[in-house]
Chains A and B, each alone.
Chain A
Amino acid sequence: DSGVTQTPKHLITATGQRVTLRCSPRSGDLSVYWYQQSLDQGLQFLIQYYNGEERAKGNILERFSAQQFPDLHSELNLSSLELGDSALYFCASSVGGPQETQYFGPGTRLLVL
């Protein structure tokens, strides 16, 4: 157990809908990262937050957004969902330094029908 929690574990929804994925980092970690894992793209970085502020963006679509709250938990919002958004979404956390290990949660499996 990494100490990072994610909910829900599974999510099934329809195209055009909006969903929210939730992540709680390890105790003491200030940075939260979101990654998407799909069969054709592998594990791809989406976005990083540090202590409530957005730090970096990766391959995140404009339909996707995220935030980190004062209690450091984070939410990833996916809207106008398309079939191609079906994937595993992982949250990771770290203390926040440049060479700090990122610890991953169990992921949310999203299926868009």
Chain B
Amino acid sequence: GESVGLHLPTLSVQEGDNSIINCAYSNSASDYFIWYKQESGKGPQFIIDIRSNMDKRQGQRVTVLLNKTVKHLSLQIAATQPGDSAVYFCAENRRIIQGAQKLVFGQGTRLTINP
């Protein structure tokens, strides 16, 4: 079946340290990937995206790496802060038919930043 999976359901990191969240996807034809952050009681919030013609993309304190050979994504968060505590989802933008697409989400990783 379709799946975008995460290797670790929970991750605890000391404040100020770097964190890495991993994700595996199954559809080798997918060409666009997004990381979302979801805080309790809120909707998924866009963090960073990457297209399949790239291996790496950097934002403010975040970096996404894409390895198409092994169908793997990772999200790196540098110098973590308490506000980074949330559930992080990777999502694969999968085309259904011409002009239609859907996001296939992983199960999510709960990141906890310890003071």
How many Å from the CB of A109 to the closest CB on chain B? 8
| Cβ-neighbour of B45 out of A2, A44, A48, A50 (below 8 A) | A2
A: which residues have CB within 8 A of B?
2, 4, 33, 35, 42-45, 48, 50, 55-56, 58, 90, 92, 96, 98-99, 101-107
| Cβ-neighbour of A55 out of B51, B99, B103 (below 8 A) | B99
How many Å from the CB of B55 to the closest CB on chain A? 17
> From residue 53 to 106 of chain B, which have CB atoms closer than 8 A to chain A?
89, 91, 93, 95-97, 99-106
How many Å from the CB of A67 to the closest CB on chain B? 16
| Most chain A CB within a 10 A radius of its CB, from B45, B51, B102, B105 | B102
Contact B95 A98 (CB under 8 A): yes
Chain B facing A: main interface SS: strand
Chain B residues whose CB sits within 8 angstroms of the CB of A96 once the complex forms = 99
Chain A residue nearest to B96 in the complex (CB): A56
How many Å from the CB of A100 to the closest CB on chain B? 9
Chain A facing B: main interface SS: strand
Chain B residues whose CB sits within 8 angstroms of the CB of A92 once the complex forms = 103
- A selection of 15 A-B contacts at a CB cut-off of 8 Å is A2-B45, A33-B103, A35-B103, A42-B105, A42-B106, A43-B103, A48-B96, A50-B100, A55-B100, A92-B103, A104-B36, A104-B43, A104-B45, A106-B43, A107-B42
The yes or no answer to B16 lying at the interface (CB within 8 A) is no
Contact B43 A99 (CB under 8 A): no
Contact B34 A101 (CB under 8 A): yes
